Structure 1
Amino acid sequence: MSPAEMIRLTALEMAEHLRAGTFTSVELTRAHFERINQVDGTADEGVHAFLHLNQDEALAVAAEVDAIRTAGGPEADELHPLAGVPIAIKDNIVTIGQPTTAASKILEGWMPPYDATVVRTIRAAKLPILGKTNLDEFAMGSTTEYSAYGVTRNPWDLNRAPGGSGGGSAAAVGAFMAPLALGSDTGGSIREPAAFTGTVGTKPTYGSVSRYGLIAMASSLDQIGPVTRTTADAAALHELIAGHDPKDSTSLHTQWNTLLEATTDQDLSGVRIGVLEEFQGPGFSAEIWEKFQETLDLLRDAGAEVTTVDCPHIPYALHAYYLIVPSEVSSNLARFDGIRYGNRVVPDGGGTVAEVMAATRAAGFGDEAKRRIMLGTFALSAGYVDAYYGTAQRVRTLVIQDLKHAFEHVDVLISPTTPTVAVKLGDQLEEPLSMYLNDVVTIPANLAGIPAISIPGGTAEHDMPVGLHIQGPAKSDATVYRVASAIEALIEAEQGKPFYDRAPEVPQVQGARS
C-alpha cells in the first residue's frame, strides 16, 4: 500500500492493517510526516495546522510498537488497539519534551515539566504524537486567526478559516496530515472547526475526560475531546482518553467502555429526535437550512421520530456565555504576569513589579485575550459581579433546566452546527461580535455539561462542508455516538462514499516543514 493510500484510511482501518502486518507503524508515521511536508507549510503558505513537529519521538514510538508486534507474545497481545496510529495534540494541552504555547507570545518556548493526563494515556497506549497544532490564543476565538504564530487555513479552501479555536487539529485531520487529533471545547472549539473542515468533533460529557494539564480558559466549561474523520474513530479515541482522574476534581467515576460498540447499532427505528423551536430557520443560511431539512427527511425515512421541542431560555445562552467566559478567563489568565508564570518583559531602565507585569501582559497577550480579560475583570468587579456574572449564572441554570426538560421527551437534539459555512480569512477580525455569533448552537452543551458531536452533513455555499450537531443528556455519550454513526451511514449510502473522500486536494507547498 502506498503512503498516499495509507493516510486516507480511517484510524480504525489503520489499526487493523497494523495488526495484520500490511504495513508498519514506522511506515504509517513517516507517511503522515511526508504529507505534512507536502501541504502544511508556514504562516505564509499552506494549511499551517502545526506549530511544532515531534518527528524523532514519534518515529521512535512507532518503531517500539513494530518491535513488540514482531516479537509477539503477551506484550503484543496487550497493546492497545490503536497502538501505532499517529495523533496530533492541540497546543494548549501540556506535553513533556515539546513546547506548549497556547498560541500565545506569553508562553513562547515554554517546555512543560509534566504531561497532561490525556497525553500520559496516549503515551501509555503507544500512539505516536506527530506534534502540536495551532489554535486561537488561549483558545479564544472561532477562526484560528487569533494565534500569535499565524493563521491556519481551511484545507477545503485555503482562503477560508478552519474554525476555532481548534482549527489546527481539525485542519490537520481534514487535510490527511493526522488520522486522530485532540482538541478542547469551551463553547464549540472542537465542533465548529469540525463543521467547517468536514471532520468529526466531539465534546464529551463534562468530567468524562480529565482536564488535568489543559491550560485553562474557562474551567467550568472546558472539555478535551477527539477530532477524527469518522464517528467510530471519535468513539474509539474517546474511550481511550476517558475515565476518572484523581488529579481533576471534576472528573467523573462513570465507565465509558461502550462508546465504540454503540456505533455498530445503526437502527434508528423509534429513536426520538428533537429539533429546537428556537433554532428554526432564521439566522441560518438558506442552503444550510435546506441541507438540514434533507437530513431530517432521511431520518424520518429511517424510522426515527422527529419532533419540535421548546427551550425558551436557549436564546439567552450566548449572552450568558460571553459573561461567564470572560469572567473565568480574567481569573485563569491572571497568573500569566511575568512574575509567577509566562515570559517576562522588563521596561527600559527597569521598573516596579506592577510596571513589569503591565509590560509583560501588554506584549504577551493578543487583542482577543486582552478584550476578554478586560470584560471579565469588569464583570467581576465590586458593584457589578451580581448584576453581570451572577445573572449569567442564573441564566445558565435556566438553560440547563430547559435542556433537562427537553430530554424527557426526546433522546437527542439535532440542528446545523453553525449558521454559515467557513468564513473567509479576515472577514471577522474587525467584527468580533459576528465571530461570537458562530457559537450560538454549540454553547448550550457547554453550559449544561452535556455531550455533543458535529459530523459532516453535506456541502452548501461554495461547495464548503456543513456540520450536523447532535447532543444528548449528560452521560449519554454512547447514545450520541449511536445516532451520529447511523446518520453518517445514511448520508454515506445516499452519496455513495464517505464524506472525507469528497475533500478537494490541498495544494502542495514549496519546501519542507522543519
Structure 2
Amino acid sequence: MTNTQELVRLSAAQMAEKIRSRDISSRELVEAELEVIEAAEPSIDAFLHVSRDEALAQADDVDKKLASGDAESLPELAGVPVAIKDMIVTKGIPTTAASKILEGWIPPYDATVVEKLKAAGMPILGKTNLDEFAQGSSTEHSAFKRTCNPWDTDCVPGGSGGGSAAAVGAFESPLALGTDTGGSIRQPSALTGTVGVKPTYGGVSRYGAIAMASSLDQVGPVARTVLDAALLQEVIGGYDRRDSTSIPKPIPPLAQAAREGARMDLHGMKVGLVKELGGKGYQPDVEARFNEGVQLLQDMGAEVVEVSCPHFSYALAAYYIIMPSEVSSNLARYDGMRYGLRVMPPEGMEQTAANMMAVTREAGFGDEVKRRIILGIYALSAGYYDAWYGSAQKVRTLIIRDLEAAFKQADVLISPASPTTAFKFGERMDDPLAMYLSDVATIPANMAGSPAMSIPAGLSKDGLPVGFQFFAPQMRDDVMYKPAAALEAALEKQWGGSIYQSMKTPWLGENK
C-alpha cells in the first residue's frame, strides 16, 4: 500500500494526531486527498469544484503554526481537510446548489459553518454535488452531473447530499458537511456506508446555507467514524446571532460521549425500537442487519423496548406538503433580477420583467424543482391553505408529541435509516412517489427538530451498505453518540475491522 493509501484510510481523529505529533504535515495530507480525488473522480463524480490552491494554502498555514511551536493553540482537527456540500456558501469559491440558475455564482461571504472550519484550521477541498437545491434522494437531479456510489458505481449514492457521502466513502475526503431537510445527510450515509448526523434543529447555524425548507433544514457532518462526526459537529455547532433559529446553549460533550461509547458498555441505557419504522416496504437484508445491530446493543447491556409513534405513519405525507410549501417561498428569490442566471424573452415575446422571470426560471430550474414549487404553490393557495398546509402542521405537532412520549420510555430510539440499500440509476426517476419513500425513516426527525444519526450496520447480500439510525431528544445530541459508537465498535470487532475492507477501490490501486 502506498503512503497515499495509508494516509487517506486513517480516521480524521488519527490524521489530527499525526499532524499534531509532526508525523505528517497538513500539506502532505491534503496532497494525498487531492491525489485520490484526481484518481477517483472519473468513477465517482462527487465534486462540482475542487479548490486545490485554497486547500494547500490553508494547510501551509497550519504547518507554519506547528513549526513555530504553536501546536497547543490549534484546535483538535487543525490541518484535517473537509469537503462542503454545494448548498453552503463559500467566499471566493463557486456555490451553485447544483442548479443552472446559480451557475458561476461566487459568494462574497462565508456561511457561519465555513467560518468555523477556517477558524479551526481545516483546509477546504472543494464543493460536492447534490440534487438541485437539495431536492431529491439520489443525486440524479443535479444540473451538472450524477454522482456514483463508491460501493457500486451503477448505483446511486442517495441524496440530496450524495456528493458529500460519496466523497467520504471513496476516501476523497475524511470529512464533509451536508444539509439535512428530510434525510439528505442520513439517507446517503446509509447508502454509502458512512456516518451521517442531523443535529438538533438550531444546534448548528444555518446562516449561509441556501434555504430549501427553512423550518426543516439543518447543516451536519458526514464522516467514516462516529468519533470523527462528533469532532466535526463540535467544530460547526453553537449559537450564532445571525441565525434567528439558533439555540443559545452550549454544545453537548459529543466527542466525550463517542469515546465513552467505544468502551462498549451500555448497562443502564434504555433503547426504544420504533414499531412504525419497519416491516412492509423494508428490504429483508436491511431488517436482518438492523436486527443484528439490535442484538449487539442488548449484548452490551442495553435494555431494548418497543415504542410506538403512531403518527409517524403520516410523516411522509405531511412532509411533502410542508416542504414544497417552503420551497415555493424560498425559491421565489431566483427571478433573474438580482443575481444568478438571467434569460431574456425570445423575439416575439413581450420584453417585460414578468416574462423575463418566467423564461429564466424555465431555463434555470430542473423538473424536480419545478414539481415541488408547483406542489407548494397549490398547498398555499386560497381555499387549500387550511386543508393542506394547516393540516400538515397539525400532524407535525402530533409527531413531536409522539417523540416526547417515546423519550419518556427510552433514552434513545432506533430504526433502519433507509428502507432499502442503494438502487440503480434511473430505477425511480419516472416514479416520484417511489423516490420520496426513500426518506420514510428519516423524515420524522426533521419534522420534530430532533437529532438523528445513521451509521453503517453491515452489508446486504449484494455487498451494499445498510444504515442503522439513532434518534435522541432535542439538544441531547450526545445521548445518541454513545450507543452509536458502542455499536460501531461491536460491529468492527465482529467484522475484524472496518466495513471499508470489503470495498473495491480501483482508484486507490486496489482491485480486490
Common topology (TM > 0.5): yes
Partner residue in 2 for 1:431: 431
Tell me the TM-score normalised to structure 1 length: 0.96
Q: Distance in 1 between matches of 2:94 and 2:84?
A: 11
Matched residue pairs, number? 503
8 Å CA contact 2:137, 2:435 repeated in 1: yes
Q: Distance in 1 between matches of 2:352 and 2:337?
A: 11
Partner residue in 1 for 2:28: 27
Partner residue in 2 for 1:284: 282
Partner residue in 2 for 1:117: 112
Q: Distance in 1 between matches of 2:223 and 2:278?
A: 29
Partner residue in 2 for 1:84: 79
1:271 to partner: Cα distance: 1.0
8 Å CA contact 2:252, 2:477 repeated in 1: no
Q: Distance in 2 between matches of 1:304 and 1:503?
A: 31
Q: Distance in 2 between matches of 1:98 and 1:131?
A: 8
8 Å CA contact 2:36, 2:507 repeated in 1: no
How far does the alpha carbon of each residue in 1:82-123 deviate from its partner, in whole angstroms, 9 at most, with x for none? 111000000010001110000000000000011000001111
8 Å CA contact 1:199, 1:500 repeated in 2: no
8 Å CA contact 1:100, 1:107 repeated in 2: yes
1:507 to partner: Cα distance: 4.7
1:505 to partner: Cα distance: 1.1
Q: 1:328 aligns with which of 322, 326, 329?
A: 326
8 Å CA contact 2:252, 2:478 repeated in 1: no
1:508 to partner: Cα distance: 7.3
Q: 2:457 aligns to what SS in structure 1? A: strand
Q: 1:36 aligns to what SS in structure 2? A: helix
Partner residue in 2 for 1:512: none
Partner residue in 1 for 2:444: 444
Q: Distance in 2 between matches of 1:280 and 1:333?
A: 34
Greater alpha carbon shift after TM alignment, 155-164 vs 290-299: 290-299
Partner residue in 2 for 1:150: 145
1:38 corresponds to 2:35:
no
How far does the alpha carbon of each residue in 1:302-332 deviate from its partner, in whole angstroms, 9 at most, with x for none? 1111111111111000000000000000000
1:103 corresponds to 2:98:
yes
Q: 2:310 aligns to what SS in structure 1? A: coil
Structure 1: which 5+ runs fail to align? 510-514
Change (3 A) 1:271 1:257: closer
Amino acid in the other structure paired with 1:481 = Y
1:503 to partner: Cα distance: 2.2
Alignment of 1:352-501 (within 5 A): 352-501=352-501
RMSD, matched Cα: 1.2
Amino acid in the other structure paired with 1:277 = K
8 Å CA contact 1:175, 1:506 repeated in 2: no
Q: 1:260 aligns with which of 255, 276, 280?
A: 255
1:283 to partner: Cα distance: 1.5
Q: 1:233 aligns to what SS in structure 2? A: helix
How far does the alpha carbon of each residue in 1:167-222 deviate from its partner, in whole angstroms, 9 at most, with x for none? 00000000000001000000000000100000000000000000000000000000
How far does the alpha carbon of each residue in 1:119-176 deviate from its partner, in whole angstroms, 9 at most, with x for none? 0111111111000000000000000000000100000000000000000000000000
Amino acid in the other structure paired with 2:4 = P
8 Å CA contact 2:168, 2:176 repeated in 1: yes
Partner residue in 2 for 1:2: 3
Alignment of 1:337-352 (within 5 A): 337-349=335-347, 351-352=351-352
8 Å CA contact 1:6, 1:31 repeated in 2: yes
8 Å CA contact 2:278, 2:416 repeated in 1: no
Q: Distance in 2 between matches of 1:66 and 1:324?
A: 47
Q: Distance in 2 between matches of 1:438 and 1:270?
A: 34
Q: Distance in 2 between matches of 1:503 and 1:271?
A: 33
1:300 to partner: Cα distance: 1.5
Q: 1:263 aligns to what SS in structure 2? A: helix
Amino acid in the other structure paired with 1:367 = D
Partner residue in 2 for 1:134: 129
Partner residue in 1 for 2:68: 71
1:423 to partner: Cα distance: 0.6
Alignment of 1:160-309 (within 5 A): 160-266=155-261, 267-309=265-307
8 Å CA contact 1:156, 1:506 repeated in 2: no
Q: Distance in 1 between matches of 2:260 and 2:206?
A: 30
Identity %: 57
Q: Distance in 2 between matches of 1:250 and 1:279?
A: 29
Q: Distance in 2 between matches of 1:294 and 1:33?
A: 37
Amino acid in the other structure paired with 1:86 = P
8 Å CA contact 1:82, 1:127 repeated in 2: yes
Partner residue in 1 for 2:311: 313
Q: Distance in 1 between matches of 2:27 and 2:311?
A: 52
Tell me the TM-score normalised to structure 2 length: 0.97
Partner residue in 2 for 1:49: 46
Structure 2: which 5+ runs fail to align? none
How far does the alpha carbon of each residue in 1:416-451 deviate from its partner, in whole angstroms, 9 at most, with x for none? 111110010111111111110011100000000000
1:506 to partner: Cα distance: 4.1
Q: 2:9 aligns to what SS in structure 1? A: coil
Amino acid in the other structure paired with 2:227 = A
